[in-house]
Amino acid sequence: MRLALVYARVQTLELVRFPGFTIATLGFPALLFALFGLPRAGDHPEVLLAAYAAFSVLGIGFYQFGVSAAIERATPWAVYLRTLPASAPVRLAGRVLPAFLFAAIAGGGVIVLALLTTSASLSTGEWVRLLLVLFVGGLPFVLLGTAIAYWFSPKTALPAANIVYMLFAYAGGLWTGPSDLPHAVARISPYVPTRQWGDLLWAAVGGTPMRWSHWLALLAYAAIFAAIAAWGYRRDEGQRFR
Amino acid sequence: MSKRNPLAPLLAIPLLGAGLLVVAPTAPPRAPLATVFAVPLGALIAIALARRRRGTASLGAGLVVGVAGAGEEALWRGFVLGRLTSAVGVVGAVILSTIGFAATHIPAQRLRGLRVQLGTGLVFGTLYATSGSLVAAMSAHGIYNVLVLVRLRGIEKRFGNTSALRGVDLTVEPGEIVALLGPNGAGKTTLVNILLGIRGPDAGDVQLLGSVGVTPQEMSFPPTLRVREIVDFVRAHYPKAGATDELLERFSLTRIARRQTGGISGGQQRRLAIALAFAGNPQLAVLDEPTAGLDVESRLEVWNAIRAFADRGGGVLLTTHHLEEAETLATRIVVLAHGEVVADGPTVTADGESLEHAYLRLTR
């Protein structure tokens, strides 16, 4: 655990000292909310607050885990790290911890903006449920980001992450809300992981019960994405180091 | 630590040796000397064989290879030599048991390792025959095994149709500075990467005992991290890491300790890369062309640091294109050409021959 914290500290320091990266990454979800969420906040600002906070977790998962890791693994520093006596779980934990820290800050930006500019209001219980769903429910997307890192080259990881990010956000109803999806997309939406996540988010802020089937679906997606990531990790080792 | 975990099969050897001795005990070839004399004698012989050995392997791996060596003595000296003595005499039994012992290592070491196995087998066999103490021979072989830090046996590596490494054997012992020489493309970096587990061999065994510090040939750092932060990060991986300030001082990095690595010169980056190999106070340092691109003063500093590390019992494997570096620094020189070890010894020159001539002769 101590070594994982050392990795997390180094990763955090490395990132926060790039102001361009930090500001863009942390500010992007709030910018999205200001441009596209605010005009539609209307009668249900809490729903949009939850959806755009989810964008921050999704973005961190895809870009910090996917794109950044894909670029890093091609560097001599990443090769050197493999010679150090640290296990894969320690390295992964060292990446997960700062990612959640960044996601919390980015999501916090959306929440503060929503509270300042809309009539959004949540009870203490709803806040707790929202944070729980945001971070525990966001795990499958962190794993999907990791899979992208190992299946795509440094040059193709960014477009791949963009496509998956936009498709998942849209088809899951995070962008427009499930009721506004076109008919064809609405039919496949219940099977998209972001929709399972969205249903939990909206239940959390709406005060309605959360269904276990959504949690189980997210768990299944987490297992699938973890398997794809592990497969990609082994494949990458085979290509690069054998 | 081993990429292929070659240590596990070694446990069969002591079990077989001990089992045979129990099932069919043999008498020693002569009345045993008191163990109190024989065991230290065996230890001294082991130390002489492994030259400047100090330090130990990691506990688990050291225990396994140490016990395996002792078990080999039980098998080849206690059982085989003991049985053959009555039939062919002591000298004949020593020779035959040594040949048998060496022959069993051929699959792993190829013919190149045969010389070493014949030598060590003869020494341990003679020790048993003259002292009559199997405990002494077992102790000596066990200690000898533990005191070898790195052992590569019969390493093969192909890239497509190109054979990069062909049956390479290599050991590094504590206190040794081994220079690995060879022209570009000879397979030096491939061998180092196999040793570190960055690449896997197509065939052969890798045993890496104890902790290892590394300076890769190609190195980059996260540009926003400070020099001291990177040293502390690497130190955090090792339980017996030395003090950061002392390390920074040794490699003349104190003045730039607070600077981000993106803002330091190439030479300073190289010194930092070398310092990291020693940051964890490891038992073995693997340095891939460590002084490439360094000025004369920095190179001398690095040489002094390497010598001091070896004097404290650390083993060093370094690859270099600078023949004078190998000649000045190394206690043993290994020349690799076309994927094969073509020379291995304290010196690779013939009488009156310069290292440069010897190198060209060996690598053409």
Contacts of A82 in chain B (CB under 8 A): 197-198
Predicted confidence at residue B221, as pLDDT, reads 94
pLDDT at B7 over 60: no
Are B93 and B81 spatial neighbours (Cβ–Cβ below 8 Å)? Answer: yes
CA distance A130 to chain B (A): 35
A212 touches chain B (CB under 8 A): no
Predicted confidence at residue B37, as pLDDT, reads 66
Q: Which residues pair with B213 in a beta bridge?
A: B285
pLDDT at B341 over 80: yes
Give, for B285, the enclosing helix (H) or strand (E). strand B284-288
Smallest Cβ distance to B214: which of A13, A14, A83? A83
Smallest Cβ distance to B219: which of A10, A17, A76? A76
- Most B CBs within 10 Å, among A1, A72, A83, A95, to test the B interface: A83
Sign of CA dihedral A227, A233, A236, A242: negative
Smallest Cβ distance to B237: which of A18, A79, A84? A84
Rg for chain A (alpha carbons), in Å?
18
pLDDT at B229 over 60: yes
Chain segment B241-258, per-residue pLDDT in tens? 889 999 999 999 999 999
Measure the CA dihedral B251/B257/B259/B264, to 10°: 0
Smallest Cβ distance to A17: which of B193, B211, B224? B224
Predicted confidence at residue B224, as pLDDT, reads 93
Rounded CA separation A101/A30 (Å) = 16
- B222/A79 CB distance under 8 A: no
Q: Please give the residue that has the higher pLDDT: either B272 or B21.
A: B272
- Cα dist. B143→B133, B177, B287 in Å? 16, 20, 26
pLDDT band at B54 (very low <50, low <70, confident <90, very high): very low
Predicted confidence at residue A93, as pLDDT, reads 82
CA distance B15 to chain A (A): 31
pLDDT at B8 over 60: no
Top mean pLDDT of A214-218, A226-230, B8-12, B299-303 is at: A214-218
Are B105 and B47 spatial neighbours (Cβ–Cβ below 8 Å)? Answer: no
- B222/A76 CB distance under 8 A: no
Are B276 and B233 spatial neighbours (Cβ–Cβ below 8 Å)? Answer: no
Predicted confidence at residue B114, as pLDDT, reads 65
pLDDT at B110 over 50: no
- Most A CBs within 10 Å, among B225, B230, B288, to test the A interface: B225
CA distance B112 to chain A (A): 25
Are A210 and A128 spatial neighbours (Cβ–Cβ below 8 Å)? Answer: no
Rounded CA separation B177/B306 (Å) = 8
As averages over each run of 10 residues, the pLDDT of chain A (242 residues) reads 90 87 84 85 83 87 81 86 83 83 89 89 90 91 88 88 90 84 90 94 89 93 90 68 44
Give, for A201, the enclosing helix (H) or strand (E). helix A193-206
- B121, two tokens: 């087998």
Q: Which residues pair with B181 in a beta bridge?
A: B335
Residue B70 CB neighbours (<10 A): 23
Predicted confidence at residue B360, as pLDDT, reads 81
Contacts of B220 in chain A (CB under 8 A): 75-77
pLDDT band at B187 (very low <50, low <70, confident <90, very high): confident
Contacts of A75 in chain B (CB under 8 A): 220
Contacts of B211 in chain A (CB under 8 A): 85
Residue B243, phi then psi, degrees to nearest 5: -75, 140
Q: Please give the residue that has the higher pLDDT: either B56 or B341.
A: B341
Smallest Cβ distance to B199: which of A10, A77, A242? A242
Residue in B57, B119, B93, B13 with CA at minimum distance from that of residue B345: B119
CA distance A2 to chain B (A): 9
- A83/B220 CB distance under 8 A: no
Maximum pairwise Cα distance, chain B = 75
Residue in A96, A102, A128, A106 with CA at minimum distance from that of residue A229: A96
Q: Are strands B150-159 and B203-208 parallel, antiparallel or unpaired?
A: antiparallel
Smallest Cβ distance to A85: which of B224, B229, B237? B237
A242 touches chain B (CB under 8 A): yes
A·B CB contacts under 8 A? 55
**ipTM (interface predicted TM):** 0.81
A183 touches chain B (CB under 8 A): no
Mean pLDDT computed over B96-101: 89
Q: Which residues of B272-303 are buried (b: 16+ CB within 10 A; e: fewer)?
A: bbbbbbbbbbbbbbbbbbbbeebeeebbebbb
- Cα dist. B136→A149, B40, B45, B75 in Å? 56, 8, 10, 14
Predicted confidence at residue B130, as pLDDT, reads 83
Rounded CA separation B108/B92 (Å) = 26
Q: Please give the residue that has the higher pLDDT: either B65 or A187.
A: A187
- A227, two tokens: 């398997």
Smallest Cβ distance to A76: which of B1, B197, B216? B216
Residue B36 CB neighbours (<10 A): 8
Q: Please give the residue that has the higher pLDDT: either B48 or A108.
A: A108
CA distance A109 to chain B (A): 25
> How much is the mean pLDDT over chain B?
81
Share above pLDDT 90 across residues of chain B, in percent, rounded to a whole number = 18
Predicted confidence at residue A201, as pLDDT, reads 93
- B200/A241 CB distance under 8 A: yes
